[in-house]
Structure 1
Amino acid sequence: MTIHGTPPATRREGGRTRHRVDPTRLLLIAVAAGGAAASLLWTLVTGFTDAQAALAFGVLVALGELARIALPGQREAAPIASAGAIGYTFLLTTGADAAHHSAWQVIAVVALGLALGELPHIAVGRPPRWGDLARRLLIIEIIALAFRPFTDLLTTPSPHWWLGLCVMAALVMAAWLVDSSIAAAIRAERLRTRIGVAFRDELRAQIPIGMAIGASGILIALAASVMGLAALLVFTAPLLVTQVAFRRFAEIRLTYLQTVRALSRVTEVGGYVETGHSRRVGRLAHAVGCELGMRESDLLELEYAALMHDIGQLSLRDPIPSGATVLAPPSEQRRIAELGSAVIRETGVLDSVAELVRRQCEPHAGGGDGPPPLGSRIIKVANAFDDLVGESKDRDRIEAVLQRLRMDTESEYDADVVEALARVLNRPASHW
């Protein structure tokens, strides 16, 4: 699922779609693939141990990867596969039999399971997101190499059973932080945003599903000591319910965005604004928000508001020429903003978006209510730029409009937002 239209990591050249290679993602894929290849080779040479458990967990990982889900923010997760992989990593005993498999076998089994789970997706034309797939594998590699060499110490008779639980929980927490850091580095590189902001966004996004995956993996491993391999079925069921809930949440978010995009096209179909204006303003506003370090939830509201910023024009008896509200009198701009905000408030769930739309025409210093929100200031700049430039790619015209915006930073436009827009426009279009 793509949340912001065409992924910013792709661009079209000569009629073909080319993927922009991010160095961080490329390094991640290389490290994860290298570890998997080495593990498979080592396991083939030394042979598999506890083949029944390896087969059961491998099948679980494959099925979990087959049922992977797409989450908001262009994230991908395979909760069942990840929980099964963690459970196999932490497996100490299966019933009364001790588990003797090595870290290399864990990595090999998980790699094979992930590969088998990806095949049906590839067969129907859904190629994997290699970065997300490599992250899932790399985290298991880290946990397995840190845990499996010391399993003999945890399986010796001891009343301190909680020690193993504490070690498992600590490793899961550490792996979660590493995974969030890697995801944040990739996100910051892809969206050109600040690494600290991206890291906080990843932590917030991964806390619920990360806790569910980690807890399920540990429970599977501990329960297998008593129930044997039947624990896989018993403790995978709650995670399946959680996965369904996350999938529905992602679908609701996607429906919201699709609805907003449909509403934004009403002004274009009615001839009130130029075709593509709302889409261009939304894309520019999102890129500027990333440049200024806005967090993910604020970026989503900004995108909604930018797409619907002109919806108040539907109340006009005579459309503004070319829909350029920047050329309209201030009183007319305020009326359009107020009417658009009122329409959005009728949804009952987008009040913060309505507020961004209401205050989009205010000077950056604000009035009686103080300075307008950053999102409103960004929309004001992005809208003015597109009103004056449109679809033109003429660099002289773009520079002239930027200079005009800079001249009005004393009274109308936020200087920081204008300079952020200039930096965005100086990058290749595929980067924003």
Structure 2
Amino acid sequence: MSARPLTVLIHTCAALLAASCLAATCRTGLEERSTALAFGVLVTVGELSRWTGARVREAAPLAAAGALSYALLGEDAGQATHHGAPQAVAVVLAAALLGSVPHLARGHGPELDHLARRVLTVGFAAVCFQPLYSRGVFDAWHGAAYALLLLALLALTALCDAVLAAALAHSRTRWPFGPLLRDELHALLGIGSAVCATGAVMALAVAVVGLWALPVFSLPLLLTQLSFRRYAAVRTTYRQTIASLARATEIAGYTPAGHALRVASLCRAVGRDLGLTRPELSVLEHAALMHDIGQLSLVDPVPAGATAVLPTAEQRRIALLGGAVVRQTGVDSAVAVVVERQADPYREQPVAARIVRAVNAYVEKARDAGPGGPLTALEELRLATAEQYAPDVVESLARVLARDSLTLPAAG
């Protein structure tokens, strides 16, 4: 997929800022080299511990906290610093690139989006703080007032980063910007708040006790990162368990291979288009993976697992049996509700059940309709919106299918 204009614009701005800061730093030389080296090592270590391939908002929280604290550093052990905004950006960029070398050797990075966000957010924080600090604007700010000032600047920086992340995701996927920004802002309550708090504490601590504060105040964030790693591992195992249960109908010959995965992928894309939240998308995806599990109770399999052509009463019976099976597996009860209500009249269904019903019918009809299957199936769904399928879901499905940025598994 070619780069979108918004992505190119953000990357270009980051590249211009990085180039100008590197040029300015090379021209004037490094101020407080020991301080620059200490923060550079911290950012490098943070990048080395980055979660490669992890679907998290901040893959390198320690590097982010170190970078922000250097951008907002005004004193080192009671002595005023003079490194300025260009040096802050240059040191963080060099350290981030150095820390990415091992990941690059393994084929995992660095990601341009990650580097662009890091450069622009550090530049934003440093430009907001360093020039004013060097002019003595903050000389009257002491104690709690100064700490609140740093937290306010970090909050603004976090908002800036959230907007950048949402804009890059919107440009890359064409998903609606509003829900993406909402998810980014919601994620700030997790690891984002820990990064901001650690960045502020580091800047304050170094100002009082010097560079020895860096390893001491890095430890809590490292422990938080380990906790998030374990949580991510548990979620991965949970999803793998659901995927294994979903494959039971394929192994038993009730549904075609890959059908559940295709329905789940398409459901998630439609949910994104309709603006569902991240927890709602998770429930939707899990329900889509397990939507056919009720067929295991049938004595005679439905031909090709095509439940959309069955009488409504039979569809509801299979759905209720599927919901009962899901409840026995220990999966979230919200998933069971979606599975057991997927055959109800759409006006009575929750949004997730409407999506599963429409997408499952589309996949089944497209598979059986020959060369013109997708268009024929979509037209059949549109003609049935008066009684069977929610019109907004069908139109969302049409939009999703029209996007060349969406990649789905082969039809089952």
Task: Establish whether TM, by shorter chain, passes 0.5.
Answer: yes
Question: Matches of residues 217-232 of structure 1 in structure 2 within 5 Å?
Answer: 217-232=199-214
- The answer on whether the counterparts of 1:273 and 1:323 sit within 8 Å (CA) in structure 2 is yes
- The answer on whether the counterparts of 2:57 and 2:184 sit within 8 Å (CA) in structure 1 is no
How far the C-alpha of 1:51 sits from its partner, in A, is: 0.4
**2:228 matches 1:207:** no
Residue of structure 1 in register with 2:119 after alignment: 137
- The answer on whether the counterparts of 1:337 and 1:359 sit within 8 Å (CA) in structure 2 is yes
Quick one: structure 1 residues 46 and 153, their matched pair in 2 at CA, closer, same or farther if it must change by over 3 Å?
closer
Q: 2:360 aligns with which of 376, 383, 396?
A: 383
- The answer on whether the counterparts of 1:364 and 1:412 sit within 8 Å (CA) in structure 2 is yes
**2:316 matches 1:334:** yes
Give ranges in structure 2 of 5+ residues lacking alignment. none
Quick one: structure 1 residues 222 and 155, their matched pair in 2 at CA, closer, same or farther if it must change by over 3 Å?
farther
Residue of structure 1 in register with 2:401 after alignment: 425
Deviations 1:313-363 (A, max 9, x none): 111111111110112222221122112111211233411011000100112
Q: 1:119 aligns with which of 98, 101, 105?
A: 101
How far the C-alpha of 1:379 sits from its partner, in A, is: 0.7
Question: 2: CA distance between counterparts of 1:105 and 1:162?
Answer: 27
Question: 2: CA distance between counterparts of 1:332 and 1:54?
Answer: 70
Residue of structure 2 in register with 1:88 after alignment: 70
Deviations 1:384-421 (A, max 9, x none): 11111128783x33222222222222221111111221
- The answer on whether the counterparts of 2:7 and 2:172 sit within 8 Å (CA) in structure 1 is no
How far the C-alpha of 1:304 sits from its partner, in A, is: 0.8
Question: Matches of residues 238-317 of structure 1 in structure 2 within 5 Å?
Answer: 238-317=220-299
Residue of structure 1 in register with 2:351 after alignment: 374
Question: 2: CA distance between counterparts of 1:220 and 1:69?
Answer: 22
2:326 maps to a residue whose letter is: I
1:430 is paired with a residue whose SS is coil
Name the Cα RMSD after superposition.
2.1
**2:58 matches 1:64:** no
1:390 is paired with a residue whose SS is helix
Residue of structure 2 in register with 1:15 after alignment: none
Question: 2: CA distance between counterparts of 1:408 and 1:328?
Answer: 15
- The answer on whether the counterparts of 2:345 and 2:388 sit within 8 Å (CA) in structure 1 is yes
- The answer on whether the counterparts of 2:346 and 2:388 sit within 8 Å (CA) in structure 1 is yes
How far the C-alpha of 1:104 sits from its partner, in A, is: 0.6
- The answer on whether the counterparts of 1:191 and 1:287 sit within 8 Å (CA) in structure 2 is no
- The answer on whether the counterparts of 2:358 and 2:394 sit within 8 Å (CA) in structure 1 is yes
Deviations 1:351-376 (A, max 9, x none): 101100010011212xxxxx110110
How far the C-alpha of 1:27 sits from its partner, in A, is: 2.0
- The answer on whether the counterparts of 2:254 and 2:305 sit within 8 Å (CA) in structure 1 is yes
2:88 maps to a residue whose letter is: V
1:404 maps to a residue whose letter is: E
The more displaced of 315-324 and 336-345 is 336-345
Give ranges in structure 1 of 5+ residues lacking alignment. 1-18, 366-370
Question: 2: CA distance between counterparts of 1:121 and 1:168?
Answer: 32
**2:392 matches 1:410:** no
Question: 2: CA distance between counterparts of 1:288 and 1:192?
Answer: 12
Q: 1:324 aligns with which of 300, 306, 319?
A: 306
Deviations 1:208-260 (A, max 9, x none): 21211111111111111222110001110011111111222222222222222
Structure 1 consecutive aligned stretches of length 4 or more whose deviation exceeds 6 Å: none
Question: 1: CA distance between counterparts of 2:243 and 2:365?
Answer: 22
1:361 maps to a residue whose letter is: A
Quick one: structure 1 residues 231 and 62, their matched pair in 2 at CA, closer, same or farther if it must change by over 3 Å?
same
- The answer on whether the counterparts of 1:191 and 1:290 sit within 8 Å (CA) in structure 2 is no
How far the C-alpha of 1:76 sits from its partner, in A, is: 4.3
Question: TM-score normalized by structure 2?
Answer: 0.93
Identity, in percent, stands at 44
Quick one: structure 1 residues 382 and 157, their matched pair in 2 at CA, closer, same or farther if it must change by over 3 Å?
closer
**2:15 matches 1:33:** yes
Q: 2:376 aligns with which of 367, 388, 400?
A: 400
Deviations 1:58-111 (A, max 9, x none): 000000011113697564421111111111122222114221111111111000
Question: 1: CA distance between counterparts of 2:228 and 2:277?
Answer: 21
- The answer on whether the counterparts of 2:53 and 2:108 sit within 8 Å (CA) in structure 1 is no
**2:172 matches 1:193:** no
- The answer on whether the counterparts of 1:191 and 1:431 sit within 8 Å (CA) in structure 2 is no
Question: 2: CA distance between counterparts of 1:282 and 1:75?
Answer: 23
2:329 is paired with a residue whose SS is coil
- The answer on whether the counterparts of 1:92 and 1:155 sit within 8 Å (CA) in structure 2 is no
Question: 1: CA distance between counterparts of 2:305 and 2:20?
Answer: 60
- The answer on whether the counterparts of 1:277 and 1:390 sit within 8 Å (CA) in structure 2 is no
Quick one: structure 1 residues 42 and 97, their matched pair in 2 at CA, closer, same or farther if it must change by over 3 Å?
same
How far the C-alpha of 1:261 sits from its partner, in A, is: 1.6
1:290 maps to a residue whose letter is: R
Question: TM-score normalized by structure 1?
Answer: 0.89
Quick one: structure 1 residues 337 and 159, their matched pair in 2 at CA, closer, same or farther if it must change by over 3 Å?
closer
Question: 1: CA distance between counterparts of 2:370 and 2:406?
Answer: 14
